[in-house]
Amino acid sequence: MKIFLSGELVDEKDAVVSVFDHGLLYGDGVFEGIRAYNGRVFLLDEHIDRLYDSAKAIALNIPMTKEGMSQAVVDTCKANDIVDGYIRLVVTRGKGTLGLNPYLCDTAEIIIIAARIQLYPQELYDNGLKIVTVGTIRNHPEAINPRIKSLNYLNNVMAKIEAINAGCMECLMLNHKGEVAEASGDNVFAVKNRVITTPPSTCGALEGLTRNKVMELARAAGYEVREASLARYDLYVADEVFLTGTAAEIISVVDIDKRAIGTGKPGSVTADLALIYAECANSEGTPIQ
């Protein structure tokens, strides 16, 4: 496997960073997870824009233009013969000292990995997920703004640990007000009377690009789509609940906290949106070859 590191493609065994890199020491950096479908990088411009916005928000200077970064993503995919795959784009603060001061760090480090991923087994897409609400709440939006996709994912990792310990692969996270925020790595949607609702970023949810694309496609398909705060009650009594994410795509939730959602099986709206999304993802994007 070829990894993009420090401006060049290197073998995986040679892709190393300093133990003094602040991305390792403090989770100081930003990242994007990107998908490639049918020989195209999906939503590449949107991912690059969000990466640079996240970096600006944490005062991290990326030593590469957006155009150069996009080309580096495409080149890394090409070097690894990616047709359908997953790209992890990471920008760390770079090599620094053992102190917190980010201004003592060298140039930011850019890492691009292009490989393959399947987040959930196919049977869960066919039958739906069972999830639980965890005690770990989402970071306060004024502590770490949820629109910043930072390397510090400990909040999400702790929630994931609770989910796994409860026998589930995913969970529901609430915010400091007790409102629905998101899953440990995906956005949450509820469907009631064919109206689709998802929490806004002010509730602690990442403004996911898959989330935004699904909302756009749903509206184009004639569905009413809202951004509004949700309580667990709203999910319990929903006709359907589904999650969206770059890696997860669209997956149905059929049970939350031992409450069957709707019929207890994946619903028709979720299935419709999954089909529309797949058609879009496989026909749009930046060509790799």
Catalytic residues: 149
For residue 30, count other CB atoms closer than 10 A to its CB: 27
- Helix, strand, or coil here: 227? strand
Rounded (5°) CA angle 125-127-132: 90
Q: Are 183 and 235 in contact (CB under 8 A)?
A: no
HEC secondary structure over 71-95: HHHHHHHHHCCCCCEEEEEEEECCE
Strand boundaries in 213-282, DSSP class E: 224-227, 240-245, 249-256, 259-260
